[in-house]
Structure formats: C-alpha cells, structure tokens
Amino acid sequence: MDILLKYFADFSEKQQQQFAALNALYKDWNAKINVISRKDIDSLYEKHVLHSLAIAAAFDFPKGSHIIDIGTGGGFPGVPLAIFFPEVRFHLVDSINKKLKIIDAVKEAIGLDNVTTQHSRAEDIKNIKFDFAVSRAVAPLKDLWGWAKPLLKKRDFTVEADGGYTVFRSGLICLKGGDLAQEIFESGTKPQMIELSRLFEEEYFETKYMLYVPA
C-alpha cells in the first residue's frame, strides 16, 4: 500500500480503505482460484495495482465516461482504475467466468459500485460502445485493436492539465512489456508509447510500456 502513496498523494479516505483491503481479499481468493502467480501475490501492490495505475498517471478519464477492460483476468487494470476514478464506469470482461467471481466478490466487499462484469469474449460484445478500452498483457496489439476498435466511440475529450487543457481522443490503452517493435509493426497501428520507467522508479517497470491507439 505504501508504494501507491509514494506516487499518488490525494486519495480520499474511502479510496485508501478500498486499496488497503485488496491485499487480504486477493490473497484469500487467490488461494481458491489461482489468477495471480504465487510468486507475484506478495508483490500485489507493485506488480498489479501500481502497474494498473500507470494508466491513471497518464490519462485523466472524464467523469461519466465508460471504459471496457478486455481480458480483465482477476480485475487488472479495471479494479484499481475503478477505485481511482469513482465517477467513471468500468465494464470488466473475461472469457473465463471463475475469474469474474473474484471481481464480483472484491467489488462487493469494498463497495465498488462503478464496476460491472461480463462473461464474454470482447469480439462477441454487440450493441454497446465505450469511450476507452484498457487491457493488460492479454494479446498481441493486432488482436487487441481488432477487438477494441468496433467497441469504441470516436469522441474527443478536453481535460485540464498542467494549468492548461489537453485534448485527447477515445482509444485503446494497453499495458505491455518487452520489445514491442515487431508487434506494433504487425498491428498496422501507430500508437503513442510511454515508458513506465518514466513514471515509476522501481526496477520492475524498466521493460514495461503503455500504448495508446486513438480511435
């Protein structure tokens, strides 16, 4: 929990309580349904929660926006982002139903009422559009973009930033690691890339990246 406060200083008391509760909840559920590797569960806040919040460090989602988390697994990045942005709606989707049971239990335990879940593959979702899609180490960028693009509105947002205003468009934001040159080439997209080592100083983030593909 301390590692979150190192980088984010303005959590409300409710947010601090929600983040603090994640450790025991995930350890308990992970013993029943293994969604986080045994070696990583003790590093939950660094390798899963803070990693997810890299998106919050770079993007300020507007109030009322609607975001889909594709292949959410145990709820990352969706659950930490939903805590961070209580006035944004998050729809967490996974093709493995038992993983969603963990998310439903976690959201009920901490009172996370801006999260919905759906047992589905992203490509099977119809008749609903989102402002952004997020994802964390799920699939190659070519596949992610193929799934996300039909689900995205083409919408521009204006947000306050550094005393001025920044305009950015709906799109896909995904967290990835390693050498991404070939993967990006094969996707046919031209994403903006952010090195997470510029956001967080821990060694774990040295080979981690965030890609943003506007709709």
Q: Binding site: which residues?
A: 71, 76, 122-123, 136
| Phi, psi angles (nearest 5°) of residue 87 | -105, 15
Annotated binding residues for S-adenosyl-L-methionine: 71, 76, 122-123, 136
Scored b (16 or more CB within 10 A) or e, 69-80 reads: bbbbbbbbbbbb
Distance between CA atoms of residues 174 and 144, nearest Å:
9
Distance between CA atoms of residues 38 and 42, nearest Å:
8
Contacts of 43 (CB under 8 A, 6+ apart): 204
Say which DSSP state 72 is in.
Answer: -
Task: Give whole-number Cα distances, 72 to 75, 92, 99, 173, in Å.
Answer: 5, 6, 8, 13
| Phi, psi angles (nearest 5°) of residue 62 | -65, 150
